[in-house]
A and B are shown apart, each in its own frame.
Chain A
Amino acid sequence: MPDPDDTATLLHRCANGDRAAFRALYDRWSARMHGIALRIVRQPSLAADATHDAFVQVWQQAHRFDPERGSAEAFLVSLVRYRALDIVRRTARETPGYEAEEQEDESPDALSIMVATSEGAALQRCLSRLEADRRRLIVMAFVDGLSHGELAEKLLIPLGTVKSWIRRSLLSLRECLAS
């Protein structure tokens, strides 16, 4: 029997108009989603906007979530990430009030925090096979929401190199995860 409080079930209950399930989903996910938004937009009030907008979409679009296409976690995370990315792509990134940690630790050891889930363990294993500078690009792009151009500028790597390293790294990740 499915756990009535797991994320996919809560989403399903939201789709049926269950406000208690919506609140439970908020209690479970808001700190993670807000953390993700804050890391990308680096400004508390914009992060709150992104988290607000993502939860409004959760409520309004829960009935359209298709578990065959991806996990409920990925659905929630992608809602807040795209909202946050959209905010930073359209407004110049500013940093008043909040300074993100500049130095990301993407060594295989640091990534071991991901092994709590089997999917995380597989991704960690495959990321650890990438060369360190390419792994850094993937982690910084996803976690900090940095674009090709921002990565090139920040890491002092030519734009073309950033693009080709990311492209090749993603394809080798896919092969590794499929094996």
Chain B
Amino acid sequence: MSDHDDFEPLAAEYALGCLEGDDLREAERMMANNPAFSRAVAAWQTRLTPLTALVPPAPPPDALWDRIAASTAPVPDNVVPLRRVRFWQASTAGALAIAASLAAFMILRPAPRAQIAVLAQMAGGTPIFLATAEPDGRLTIRPNGAIGVPSGRDLELWALAKGDTKPHSLGVLPVAGRQMAAGLAPDTQLLVSLEPLGGSPTGQPTGPVVFGGTLTQVN
């Protein structure tokens, strides 16, 4: 049996949307890592899409366009209005699902590829930060809700490259998020620590790491 025949049923079921649990996670992993699999899923999605004709259209709420327009407006450096930041309500598993669903129709290039990371709270729970690293080196960090920081403290963002033992600072991270230039390698960990106002005085984290996640390529 060829590889193609091996994964074809899983690709079809992922496109149909009936997977759950371990099977779903396996399909999402393959979407991220196996271009032939994601291509098979795209073909299945195209085959099955006519079924959506069975669903009656439902106009979205009138205010939705304004929300979308705000979420897609250009982000000025360092200023992200809080209204805009309610982004993917993503858990770490959710981020994989997002990356997986995007993979089906994406142009395949050896490089460059965008990377995303969910910076989950180390203590669990929400809100979280979502990081997107574009191939051109732009890094955007946005929270998905209102993030609280004790008065007199700042959050500071750190990058820890794979294999490194010491993170390097990417600067203070406003609770509303930030966009910056930072060419980061795949699998770099992004960490957010709680620091004195203005950031760590030592060049290394001095307070607890409160958010963290690892950049993963969107295939």
**A166 and B17 contact, CB distance less than 8 A:** no
B1 close to A (CB within 8 Å): no
Bound: A90/B90 CA distance, A:
10
* CB-CB nearest in chain A for B15: A78
Bound: A167/B8 CA distance, A:
10
**A151 and B49 contact, CB distance less than 8 A:** no
B104 close to A (CB within 8 Å): yes
**B52 and A32 contact, CB distance less than 8 A:** yes
What A residues does B50 contact at CB under 8 A? Answer: 114, 117, 119-120, 123-124
Bound: A113/B53 CA distance, A:
7
Q: Which of A47-82 contact B (CB under 8 A)?
A: 47-49, 51-53, 55-57, 59-61, 64-66, 69-71, 73-75, 77-79, 81-82
Q: Which of B135-163 contact A (CB under 8 A)?
A: none
A130 close to B (CB within 8 Å): no
Interface size on A, residues (CB 8 A): 74
CB distance from A38 to the nearest CB of B (A): 5
**A26 and B68 contact, CB distance less than 8 A:** yes
**B12 and A143 contact, CB distance less than 8 A:** no
* CB-CB nearest in chain A for B105: A75
What A residues does B47 contact at CB under 8 A? Answer: 119, 123, 173-174, 177
Bound: A22/B114 CA distance, A:
22
B58 close to A (CB within 8 Å): yes
**A56 and B71 contact, CB distance less than 8 A:** yes
A86 close to B (CB within 8 Å): yes
**B104 and A69 contact, CB distance less than 8 A:** yes
Q: Which of A103-148 contact B (CB under 8 A)?
A: 104, 106, 110-111, 113-114, 116-117, 119-120, 123-124, 138-139, 141-143, 145-148
Among candidates B45, B87, B100, residue contacting A74 with C-beta atoms closer than 8 Å = B45
* CB-CB nearest in chain B for A178: B47
A34 close to B (CB within 8 Å): yes
**A78 and B45 contact, CB distance less than 8 A:** yes
**A142 and B64 contact, CB distance less than 8 A:** no
Given contacts A57-B102, A142-B16, contact A70 B42 (CB under 8 A): yes
B106 close to A (CB within 8 Å): yes
Q: Which of A18-53 contact B (CB under 8 A)?
A: 22-23, 26, 30-32, 34-36, 38-39, 44, 47-49, 51-53
Report the 6 A-B pairs with minimum CB-CB distance, sorted nearest first.
A82-B101, A120-B50, A31-B57, A35-B58, A70-B42, A66-B107
Residues of A near any B CB (own CB < 8 A) = 22-23, 26, 30-32, 34-36, 38-39, 44, 47-49, 51-53, 55-57, 59-61, 64-66, 69-71, 73-75, 77-79, 81-83, 85-87, 89-90, 104, 106, 110-111, 113-114, 116-117, 119-120, 123-124, 138-139, 141-143, 145-149, 151, 166-167, 170-171, 173-174, 177
- Interface pairs (15), CB distance under 8 Å: A22-B72, A31-B60, A32-B57, A36-B52, A48-B64, A56-B87, A66-B107, A70-B46, A90-B91, A111-B54, A113-B54, A120-B53, A142-B48, A147-B17, A147-B19
Residues of B near any A CB (own CB < 8 A) = 8-9, 12-13, 15-20, 24, 39, 42-61, 64-65, 67-68, 71-72, 87-89, 91, 93-94, 97-98, 100-102, 104-108, 114
17 A-B pairs besides A56-B71, A82-B100, A148-B18 with CB distance below 8 A are A38-B58, A44-B61, A51-B60, A53-B88, A57-B98, A61-B106, A71-B49, A75-B104, A81-B17, A82-B17, A114-B50, A116-B53, A123-B48, A142-B48, A166-B13, A166-B18, A171-B9
